Homo-oligomer: A and B are copies of this chain.
């Protein structure tokens, strides 16, 4: 009845504020609205979302666990600034996990899920044709969503969570080390992968995923740390060493 509807309609807005702040911050980081190295002041974030520092700390702790934020004792939380080595490890992990997801997904995928994939691909290709930073952000976001959808279809909640973390961190890595701003997913790889899944050829989908990850990583400039590390040090924590 209307009563029951109202009791459900009112509270969902204020359901869990720490989770809400965490999600907003994560979106901002993944969309590159918050640059790597940016300091996340507890009080500032708190006033921004109109909550106390207690709640902000919970959100920041969650993001730290996901690897999107790095906290240093008595110094605060910063948007993560992955090193080239960490970047390689992110992609190595994805190369290990995603073919397995493809195998599982190919067996389980339903026609409804295929439709959902198609819709996402369509959205993605539309974004590719647009210009401007907003479209770029949305494109990176949508590209990640493709891989998350793959993980969802595979049906393993634990691996899905791992992939959520890996996709988010990939976005950070691309932000830091991406050469061209755009070529991350312009190859149409996603379409081919979906086609393989549709034919329930998980092996093929896995192979395509590997070359797809190769494409992404090939666009990165992970050349050795010296100059980049210097820049990192200057940007983020120049005043730290003893």
Chain B residue numbers with a CB within 8 Å of A156 are 89, 92-93
Chain B residue numbers with a CB within 8 Å of A158 are 67, 86, 89-90, 93, 166, 169
In the complex formed, the residue of B with least CB distance to A58 is B61
Chain B residue numbers with a CB within 8 Å of A5 are none
In the complex formed, the residue of B with least CB distance to A96 is B100
Chain B residue numbers with a CB within 8 Å of A89 are 156-159
Complex Cα spacing A67 to B156, Å: 14
For A, the interface residue count at a CB cutoff of 8 angstroms equals 25
Q: Is A129 part of the contact surface with B, judged by Cβ < 8 Å?
A: no
Chain B residue numbers with a CB within 8 Å of A162 are 93, 162
Q: Is A73 part of the contact surface with B, judged by Cβ < 8 Å?
A: yes
Copies in the complex: 2
Chain B residue numbers with a CB within 8 Å of A157 are 86, 89
Interface residue ranges of A127-155 to B (CB < 8 Å) = none
Complex Cα spacing A73 to B97, Å: 32
Q: Is A49 part of the contact surface with B, judged by Cβ < 8 Å?
A: no
- Rounded to whole Å, the gap between the CB of A35 and the closest CB of chain B is 22
Q: Is A16 part of the contact surface with B, judged by Cβ < 8 Å?
A: yes
**Contact mask for chain A residues 51-75; partner B; CB cutoff 8 A; 1 contact, 0 none:** 0001001100110010100000100
Among A58, A90, A100: residue with most chain B CB under 10 A: A100
Which residues does A use to contact B, with CB under 8 Å?
16, 54, 57-58, 61-62, 65, 67, 73, 86, 89-90, 92-93, 96-97, 100, 104, 156-159, 162, 166, 169
Pick the 9 closest A-B CB pairs, nearest first: A96-B100, A65-B65, A89-B156, A93-B158, A89-B158, A93-B159, A162-B162, A92-B156, A61-B61
